[in-house]
Amino acid sequence: MKRSFFVMLLVLLSFGTLSAEGQKETEAEYPSKAIQLIVPWGAGGRTDINARMFASVAPDYLGQPMVVINKAGGASVIGGEYVAKAPPDGYTLLAITPGTNIFPPLFDQAPYGPYDFDAIGQIGSSTMAIASRPDRAWKNVDELIEYARSNPGKVTYACVALKAPQLGFLRWADAAGLEFKHVPVGNDAEAVEAALGGHVDIAMTSSVATIISHVNAGKLNALMVFSEKRDKLLPDTPTAVELGYNVVASPYTGIAGPKGLPPEVLAKLRTVFRQVMEDKKFQALMTKVGEVIDPKYGDDFYEVWRNDFEGYSEVIKKMGLKQ
């Protein structure tokens, strides 16, 4: 009986040792097979394009293929959950945006939290901006603030509801102590059309790309942007931070993995990510499709998540936006 017990104990200990050695060997050899990059949206969108550009260059540094797989549905929650629950071995990654790890958890619409992923890196971010027609009572953001302060609740703004544009706008309005009237629309284009047509006073958009042609034509005034620094396309337009408001809201696109990646695997992925961002071929591909690279690496990307989730959580609670 004792002999059998000791034999079994030795077998278990040997198995544990072999398993540990196997894990170390696997991590040292990572990657030894193709990596899946999950896009939680349909093909052809901005996230999908960024992911495919990244996946086309990453194998040069990984030594293994990277396969893009679209898992759309549930406003990106299906793909997000798939990666959040995947084995943290580095073979299942996520093309991540605030639409996956920030907004669904904010409104309790996801079976995972905002930080249930390991941050690898941010590829880029879009510059949100507010703009209005030149015939409005203000020519710049200082005059807008003065007018809005004297006319609380009268100035109207159009944007998509309960996503980055409205929540970013509300963070600024709250910080400035201003009250505006929201007019919900389906997308940025509708917000811009509403402002151009004089149906609303301000268009709040998730990207300067939707207003730049109208600004250049003199049909809209770009008043303020919500990025960390001024946008190259709008060099004369101040940021909210410049004006004294600690509000940075720039929807990002990046790469993440399930929480708990082995340190060696995470380090490898972050190194490869940096190599891809600095790769001339990748930069040329992104320029060709009209995307601007704005990289953030590792923990700096994680801080972007924290800034977004905490900032939006505060304004949602304060404004009573959560049902």
Name the band, by pLDDT with cuts 50, 70 and 90, for residue 322.
Answer: confident
Find, among 222, 204, 206, the residue nearest to 214 by Cα: 222
Superfamily of domain 129-225: Periplasmic binding protein-like II (3.40.190.10)
**CB neighbours (10 Å) of residue 22?**
10
Residues of the chain with CATH 3.40.190.150: 31-125+251-319
Superfamily of domain 31-125+251-319: Bordetella uptake gene, domain 1 (3.40.190.150)
Of all residues in the chain, the percent with pLDDT exceeding 70 is 91
H helices of the chain, where?
2-29, 46-57, 59-62, 77-84, 98-101, 103-106, 141-150, 164-176, 188-196, 212-216, 263-277, 280-288, 299-319
**pLDDT tens-digit profile of 173-197?**
999 999 999 999 999 999 999 999 9
The answer to whether residue 2 scores a pLDDT higher than 50 is no
The answer to whether residue 132 scores a pLDDT higher than 90 is yes
Residues of the chain with CATH 3.40.190.10: 129-225
Query: What's the mean per-residue pLDDT of the chain?
Result: 92
The answer to whether residue 11 scores a pLDDT higher than 50 is no
Find, among 323, 318, 301, 315, the residue nearest to 169 by Cα: 315
The pLDDT value given to residue 323:
67
pTM of the model: 0.86
The pLDDT value given to residue 28:
61
The pLDDT value given to residue 291:
87
The answer to whether residue 316 scores a pLDDT higher than 80 is yes
The pLDDT value given to residue 7:
41
The answer to whether residue 224 scores a pLDDT higher than 90 is yes
Kindly give the interhelix angle for 164-176 and 299-319, rounded to the nearest 10 degrees: 70
